[in-house]
Amino acid sequence: MTFTALTSSSVSTYKLYINGKWEQSKSGQAIDIQSPYLYEAIGKVQAITKEEVDEAIHFAQKAQKEWADISLQERAKYLYKWADELVNMQDEIAEVIKKEVGKSYKDAKSEVVRTADFIRYTVEEALHIHGESMRGDSFPGGSQSKIAIIQRVPLGVVLAIPPFNYPVNLAAAKLAPALMAGNAVIFKPATQGAISGTKMIEALHKAEFPKGLVNLVTGRGSVIGDYLVEHKGINMISFTGGTNTGVNLAKKASMVPLVLELGGKDPGIVREDADLQEAAKHIISGAFSYSGQRCTAIKRVLVHESVANELIGILKEEIEKLSVGSPEDGSMVVPLIDDQSANFVQGLIDDAIKKGATLVTGNKRERNLVYPTLLDHVTEDMRVAWEEPFGPVLPVIRVSSDEEAINIANESEFGLQASVFTKDINKAFAIANKIETGSVQINGRTERGPDHFPFIGVKGSGMGAQGIRKSIESMTREKVTVLNLAE
């Protein structure tokens, strides 16, 4: 039996999870969650009140004190159980992810399994993080009798805010390190993604974590976001989402430690010596998987003019073979999360064509389903050269040298990742060293995994680092205890 939802008529209303209990909000209001491709409500989530946020944070603070005192091995047992419960629930959760964010069942299932792997790896990493000690006499005038013992201690209550596109994985990527590090969590899922997030918490509930340690607060970010971010009871914020939202949040957060993973405009740089078939394969899966609704999607191609025609020919042929349609059919290109997102992508395409870009393929639309679109001869005066579409449109900018590619890559306000395609490893490194992004992929598509690699956004793409070890470190601080021995 599940207590997460009330079912009346055909849709369920999912509850808040506060202090280990599933509750309806006293606001009496619930938010309809529309499926991006079924075009109907698939459920409702609670619109939490400020008083309920206060309560959730109060219980989290209380639970955190006891949690910080229990051993790492004990914490590990709860997290392993949570991972097992997620695996047990993988079919059910994948079905919800599919309907809620319009992702194929196969991708949704691998998101859940990857999440369980993420949790297990986090446990193992946390078990192997050790502090250090320092001798006093390594500094001039210092004494051997002084020894500093440096340990990592939890920050307190972590506010975890993920985006819609990986509603389980990107949420657990915050919860698991926070918990292993000894923190409590206030989890505010993206509203579109909140049912998937609730299911993930249902698995956590089955693992019987101490009450109040993890609390699920649902409601629109525009309504409760600021209240959560500015709340005095929050000790750290881990946020993944759009750049505008992140920048506003950072202003509000004041002195609370923050990790921000934001938008991107990842370039795929194709040199004249690249294996074009290989490069095209990576560019297409990078640009069009899940309709480009990935932070690390390849969002522009900077290709040497001498191989541009050949690359465009291969890209066109392969793009026209992509499956387009419903997530129910396992399509790669699926309807975007909502009409507004599709309108935005259409606006970028229209602007580019109006300013002289060549439409190679695509520019077809059915409601919020935008067909994969390839634009050639994109120039720097076009919006699509700079703005993040979060949709299936790929602009190609022809360049005449590596320097020009590097300059255009770096002119972007974003700095998440970049790909360089070349057979010359020396050139690859020379370019990678000059690119202003958190990571550079050589001869591969831009992507977040594997999850234990550091994942870093610079400039408008973020602040701080994720990646399992980095996330644990960001959710702890160093504490120094100095031992003064009798001389």
Active site (catalytic) residues: 261, 295
355: number of Cβ within 10 Å: 15
CB of 272 to ligand NAP, least distance (A): 30
- Which residues 249-288 are close enough to bind ligand NAP by CB under 6 A? 249, 261-264
- Which residues 4-33 are close enough to bind ligand NAP by CB under 6 A? none
Number of H helices, E strands in the chain: 14, 28
Task: Pick the stretch among 240-248, 279-287, 364-372, 378-386 that binds ligand NAP (CB under 6 A).
Answer: 240-248
Q: Which of 53, 63, 185, 190 binds ligand NAP (CB under 6 A)?
A: 190
Nearer to ligand NAP, 53 or 360 (CB): 53
Nearer to ligand NAP, 182 or 391 (CB): 391
Q: Which of 232, 257, 182, 220 has the alpha carbon at shortest distance from 58? A: 232
Tokens of 267: 């370039």
- Determine if 464 is a binding residue for ligand NAP (CB under 6 A): no
Q: Which of 9, 10, 71, 222 binds ligand NAP (CB under 6 A)?
A: 222
Task: Pick the stretch among 3-11, 160-168, 353-361, 402-410 that binds ligand NAP (CB under 6 A).
Answer: 160-168
**Contact in structure between 167 and 153 (CB atoms under 8 Å):** no
Tokens of 329: 């059919």
Task: Pick the stretch among 177-185, 238-246, 320-328, 393-401 that binds ligand NAP (CB under 6 A).
Answer: 238-246
CB of 35 to ligand NAP, least distance (A): 15
Nearer to ligand NAP, 87 or 223 (CB): 223
d(CA 384, CA 396): 10
Q: Which of 124, 226, 230, 275 binds ligand NAP (CB under 6 A)?
A: 226
Q: Report phi then psi at 136, rounded to 5.
A: -65, -30
**Contact in structure between 146 and 102 (CB atoms under 8 Å):** no
CB of 404 to ligand NAP, least distance (A): 26
CB of 240 to ligand NAP, least distance (A): 5
Nearer to ligand NAP, 211 or 220 (CB): 220
- Determine if 476 is a binding residue for ligand NAP (CB under 6 A): no
464: number of Cβ within 10 Å: 17
**Contact in structure between 468 and 129 (CB atoms under 8 Å):** no
Q: Which of 16, 295, 397, 399 binds ligand NAP (CB under 6 A)?
A: 295
Q: At what angle do helices 72-88 and 169-180 cross, to 10 degrees?
A: 160
List, as own/partner pairs, every contact residues 339-347 make where C-beta atoms lie below 8 angstroms and the sequence separation is at least 24, other chains included: 339/367, 339/368, 341/368, 341/390, 341/391, 342/367, 342/368, 342/369, 342/370, 342/391, 344/389, 344/390, 344/391, 345/370, 345/389, 345/390, 345/391, 345/392, 345/393, 346/370, 347/383
Nearer to ligand NAP, 361 or 417 (CB): 417
Q: Which of 101, 126, 160, 161 binds ligand NAP (CB under 6 A)?
A: 161
- Determine if 457 is a binding residue for ligand NAP (CB under 6 A): yes
89: number of Cβ within 10 Å: 18
Q: Which of 20, 136, 210, 221 binds ligand NAP (CB under 6 A)?
A: 221
Task: Pick the stretch among 98-106, 223-231, 342-350, 370-378 that binds ligand NAP (CB under 6 A).
Answer: 223-231
CB of 32 to ligand NAP, least distance (A): 13
Q: Which of 275, 323, 319, 299 has the alpha carbon at shortest distance from 424? A: 275
E-state strands within 178-280: 184-187, 214-216, 236-240, 258-261, 266-270
Mark 359-398 with x for binding to ligand NAP (rule: CB under 6 A) and - for no binding.
-----------------------------x-x--------
Task: Pick the stretch among 33-41, 235-243, 277-285, 305-313 that binds ligand NAP (CB under 6 A).
Answer: 235-243
Residue 32, SS3 per DSSP:
strand
Is the preceding peptide bond at 257 cis, omega within 30 degrees of 0?
Answer: no
- Determine if 187 is a binding residue for ligand NAP (CB under 6 A): no
- Determine if 460 is a binding residue for ligand NAP (CB under 6 A): no
252: number of Cβ within 10 Å: 14
d(CA 15, CA 95): 19
Buried b (16+ CB within 10 A) or exposed e, 371-406: bbbbbbbbeeebbbbbbbbbbbbbbbbbbeebeebb
- Determine if 50 is a binding residue for ligand NAP (CB under 6 A): no
CB of 220 to ligand NAP, least distance (A): 4
Nearer to ligand NAP, 125 or 266 (CB): 266
Q: Which spans of this chain sit near ligand NAP (rule: CB under 6 A)?
A: 161, 163-165, 190-191, 220-222, 225-226, 229, 240-242, 245, 249, 261-264, 295, 388, 390, 416, 457, 462
